[in-house]
Structure 1
Amino acid sequence: MPAGLHITDLEAAINHWRARAPAGAGAALAPEVAALAEVYGRMVHGQLKECAHADLPVPALAAWLAWYATTPDTPCIAICSTSQGDAVCKGCGRTDQEVQHWPALHPLDKRAVWRRITLQGTAWRFNRYAERAAGAPAGAVTDS
């Protein structure tokens, strides 16, 4: 069973859809925003940080997956220390198992990994190689 939907990802998806489909006449929400807002409201009311995958209505999951498709899929920065025997990649922060099975992971599981490595902030992608991960121009040099 995939991980749950974290409220920060739900907020990002809502903001994505609000930018793509602003409220219409009479402040009518786009269907994607309405579907996600329903889940968001329940989570806020229940003071939940995560919504179980099974509790996501089909329209909300579809809207979230469409947003997810616009985000970077992998945290890889092409410096993989798991291939050298490390249990956790110094480049991206994923475990050896996460690197190996990444293509088969459900998008909710991938986002859970992204959340964890972002909060940890210890992988090279978040420090001295952050520019490379962000697509800095070739030859850009930084002090780190």
Structure 2
Amino acid sequence: MHVTDLEAAINWWRGRSPSADGISAAPEVRALAEAYALLAWSRASVIDVDALSDKALGAWLSWYETTPDSPCIAICSTAQGDPVCKGCGRTFDEVQHWPALDAFEKRDVWHRITLEGTAWRFNRYAERAQR
């Protein structure tokens, strides 16, 4: 799991369950913050999912359910023979096997295509990605 997903989940939970006193955090935020601290301490940007506590994993999965499942913008150039889709940035294999990928594999793909930022969903057809 990449640190950007962990940060997004923490911020989502902070918005969903804000601190009543401005100091204490919701149990889900604390669980995710422990994983975040491990990343910071080790100066890493990726944490093994197995290192998450059950509470942190549950909190992350709750956040994940609020994210778009697929980066598809309905312009699939892999159907025309491209090895990488111009629309979403996924490889042919990723497009074909998307339904079988688990949440963590999907987020890895999302992270990669977002960093690359070359797919049309990030520029030419960004308005389609808002749906």
User: What is the aligned partner in structure 2 of residue 56 from structure 1?
Assistant: 52
Runs (4+) of structure 1 exceeding 4 A deviation are none
1:32 and 1:100 map into 2 onto residues whose CA distance is: 34
Aligned runs of 1:90-101 on 2, under 5 Å? 90-101=86-97
- Contiguous gaps of at least 5 residues in structure 1: 136-144
Could you tell me how far 1:26 is from its partner in structure 2? Answer: 7.5
- Contiguous gaps of at least 5 residues in structure 2: none
Aligned runs of 1:5-44 on 2, under 5 Å? 5-25=1-21, 27-44=23-40
User: What is the aligned partner in structure 2 of residue 129 from structure 1?
Assistant: 125
Could you tell me how far 1:25 is from its partner in structure 2? Answer: 4.0
Deviations 1:34-55 (A, max 9, x none): 1101111111111110101211
The structure having more radius of gyration, on CA atoms, is 1
User: What is the aligned partner in structure 2 of residue 139 from structure 1?
Assistant: none
Could you tell me how far 1:57 is from its partner in structure 2? Answer: 1.1
TM-score (norm. length: structure 2): 0.95
2:22 and 2:81 map into 1 onto residues whose CA distance is: 58
TM-score (norm. length: structure 1): 0.87
Deviations 1:93-142 (A, max 9, x none): 0001100111111111111111111111111111111112213xxxxxxx
Q: CA RMSD in A?
A: 1.2
The alignment-based identity, stated in percent, is 63
Are positions 1:71 and 2:67 aligned together? yes
2:55 and 2:3 map into 1 onto residues whose CA distance is: 17
Q: Structure 2 counterpart of 1:134, which letter?
A: Q
Q: Structure 2 counterpart of 1:64, which letter?
A: W
Partner secondary structure for residue 70 of structure 2: coil
Deviations 1:55-114 (A, max 9, x none): 111111110010011011110000111111111111100001100111111111111111
2:107 and 2:53 map into 1 onto residues whose CA distance is: 19
More helix by percentage: 2
Could you tell me how far 1:24 is from its partner in structure 2? Answer: 3.0
